[in-house]
Amino acid sequence: MEALRLAIKQMIHISDEEFEQFVAQTCARTYRRQEILSVPDVVPNELFFIWKGLIRVMIPDQAGFDHTIHFALENQFIADYSSFLQHQPSLYTLQAVEETQVVVLPRSAIEWGYLHMQEGQKLGRLIAEFYFIYQDNRIKNMYARTPKQRYDSITDVFPNIHNRVPQHMIASYLGITPVHLSRLKKQS
Amino acid sequence: MEALRLAIKQMIHISDEEFEQFVAQTCARTYRRQEILSVPDVVPNELFFIWKGLIRVMIPDQAGFDHTIHFALENQFIADYSSFLQHQPSLYTLQAVEETQVVVLPRSAIEWGYLHMQEGQKLGRLIAEFYFIYQDNRIKNMYARTPKQRYDSITDVFPNIHNRVPQHMIASYLGITPVHLSRLKKQS
DNA sequence: AGCAAACGATAACAAATGTTTATATTTTCA
DNA sequence: TGAAAATATAAACATTTGTTATCGTTTGCT
């Protein structure tokens, strides 16, 4: 829980009392390797804060084949936030790549925070802005850089990723096939 | 200005007095066809609200070739918001495709809003969430759908776009060459 | 109204990327 | 620990996408 407190304190001022009340509305949960945290076609009503482990986010194409679109690491918030915000059924699957321990933030706790925490709205704004910036960088990279260039700098965004996920998931994240990534690595 | 008032009122409660004070800190500006609103390598300190016209956002790759990564239409806010938030030099070029009339929102006005408007933080949160959702959709589409599928549904996101921008800009937005888009259209 | 530039389609060819199959190695887990 | 599954590489071939050049049409601008 201290990791969560620190993450929040980096963004807003929050009193100990506010934090204790907020945390009382959350719970801890552990997922085993490969376990699914969130399935498609269900409205997500929980956000997760990872304090140990690694989660990947996947989306199926029309043929039903899954693409890895994101990795979430320690001290990050993760969910199908878009579906959460819109109260819409999720399109994403969230899966623990390793054994993963999270704090579960139910929608009710988030709404309580907006109403009762002094800087609740500001916290929501900063989190949305943070992920906006992250996505903006991704979109920039997709337009302006080749898969090889993105592969070569992937540890800027996901430190140590090569030791934590198999290469075919990285290929999927880059939008190419595992065979092609293997080829790109061989070139220089 | 009424368009801006409506856009804000769709997101938060704002008193007439608050709005008048806010608007007093803004100004209107008109850009001619092809004119540049925002150049790279400069920290952006203005946001734009479009009430007439159409703006495209571009980014250069390593070879210096520009890619169109976004179109902004009437009643939308536009800027290199990521660079604006981070106080960093922009990577984007903003260009008016048609004659375009905007309300200019200086950084000082935004900051004033956060401090003095009752629901200023909430407005900031909702705008960041709105663009987060937009970007999330884009990323989903890039992974799960082909350029042809995205072309066929582009008017969902940019109504009437085919009558307002040349096809080669749409091709650039889709991440393909104009020649290839022409080919895709011929198929079926 | 007229001219120059921009635009979109097309074809031929080149380069990049995907698909399939095979193989050797590593990892998982019962 | 040992067998089954997952993983990474490789090669051959197919498909997709990019590049270049041409041509007729449309558009913008004075």
Whether the Cβ atoms of residue B58 and residue B95 lie closer than 8 Å to each other: yes
Is residue A130 helix, strand or coil? helix
pLDDT reading at A28 higher than 90: yes
**If you average pLDDT over residues B8-24, what whole number do you get?**
97
Contact B132 A137 (CB under 8 A): no
**pLDDT the model gives residue A69:** 97
Give CATH for domain B2-119: 2.60.120.10
First-to-last CA distance in chain B? 45
Structure tokens that stand for A131 in this block: 């992920």
Residue B187: per-residue pLDDT: 87
Element (H, E) at B93: strand B93-96
Instruction: Locate the domains of chain B by residue range.
Output: 2-119
Q: What is the pLDDT of residue B95?
A: 97
Q: Which residue in chain B has the smallest CA separation from A124?
A: B125
> Quick one: pLDDT at residue B53?
96
From residue A147, give the alpha-carbon distance in Å to each of A162, A165, A167, A172, A185: 16, 18, 14, 11, 11
Cβ contact B128–A132 (<8 Å): yes
A101–chain B nearest CA distance, Å: 25
Mean pLDDT computed over B100-110? 97
Q: How far apart are CA B71 and CA B68, in angstroms?
A: 8
Q: CA-to-CA distance for B35 and A13, rounded, in angstroms? A: 43
Please give the average per-residue pLDDT across A91-105, as a whole number.
97
Mean pLDDT for the stretch of residues A152-163: 96
Q: How many residues does chain B have?
A: 188
Q: Write down the pLDDT at residue B167.
A: 97
Residue with tokens 């300190």: B45
Closest CA to C20 C1' — which residue?
A: A179
| pLDDT tens digits for range A37-94 | 999 999 999 999 999 999 999 999 988 999 999 999 999 999 999 999 999 999 999 9
- Give the confidence band of A98 by pLDDT, cuts at 50, 70, 90: very high
Distance (Å, whole) CA A125 – CA A120: 9
The distance (Å) linking the CA of A109 with the C1' of D24 is: 64
What pLDDT sits at residue B119?
97
Residue A113: burial class (beta carbons within 10 Å; 0-12, 13-18, 19+):
buried
Which whole number is the average pLDDT over A119-138? 97
User: Between the CA of residue A150 and those of A164, B33, B77, B103, what are the distances in Å?
Assistant: 18, 35, 29, 37
CA distance B98 to chain A (A): 24
pLDDT at B67 over 80: yes
Q: Which residues of A lie inside 8 Å of B (Cβ-Cβ)? A: 59-62, 67, 69, 81-82, 85-86, 91, 114, 119, 121-122, 124-125, 128-129, 131-133, 135-140, 142-145, 149, 175
Q: Do A132 and B175 touch (CB under 8 A)?
A: no
> Is residue A146's beta carbon less than 7 angstroms from any atom in nucleic acid strand C?
yes
Residue of B62, B50, B68 lying closest to B1 (CA atoms): B50
The predicted pLDDT at position A74 comes to 96
Q: What is the token pair recorded at A60? A: 């199926």
Q: Are B44 and B2 in contact (CB under 8 A)?
A: no
Number of H helices, E strands in chain A: 9, 8
Model confidence at B188: pLDDT above 80? no
Mean pLDDT of A142-170: 96
Distance from B79 to chain A by nearest Cα, in Å?
Answer: 12
Cβ-based contacts of A121 with chain B (< 8 Å): 119, 121-122, 124-125
What does the pLDDT average to over A171-180? 97
Q: For B112-156, how does the pLDDT look when each residue is reduced to its tens digit (9 = 90+)? A: 999 999 999 999 999 999 999 999 999 999 999 999 999 999 999
Q: How much of chain B exceeds pLDDT 70, in percent?
A: 99
pLDDT over 70 percentage in chain A: 99
- Flag residues 69-128 of A with CB < 7 Å from strand C: none
CB of A134 closer than 8 Å to CB of B85? no
Q: Is A145 helix (H, G, I), strand (E, B) or coil?
A: coil
Average pLDDT, chain A: 96
- Phi and psi dihedrals of B66, rounded to 5? -80, 140
Calculate the angstrom distance between C1' of C20 and CA of B29: 59
Distance (Å, whole) CA B90 – CA A133: 13
* Element of type H or E holding A27: strand A27-31
Cross-strand pairs, B68: B58
Between CA A11 and C1' C8 the distance (Å) reads 51
- Cβ B142 to strand D below 7 Å: no
Q: In chain A, what residues touch B144 (CB-CB under 8 Å)?
A: 59-62, 67
What is the b/e burial string over B121-139, where b = at least 16 CB atoms within 10 angstroms of the residue's CB?
Answer: bbbbbbbbbbbbbebbebb
Q: Does residue B179 have a pLDDT over 90? A: yes
Cβ neighbours of A140 in B, within 8 Å? 59, 69, 91
Q: Which ranges of B14-144 does DSSP label H, i.e. alpha helix? A: 16-23, 81-86, 107-116, 120-144
**Topology of domain A2-118, per CATH?**
Jelly Rolls (2.60.120)
Residue A109 predicted with pLDDT over 80? yes
Q: What is the mean pLDDT of residues B85-110?
A: 97
Q: How confident is the model at residue B162 (pLDDT cuts 50, 70, 90)?
A: very high
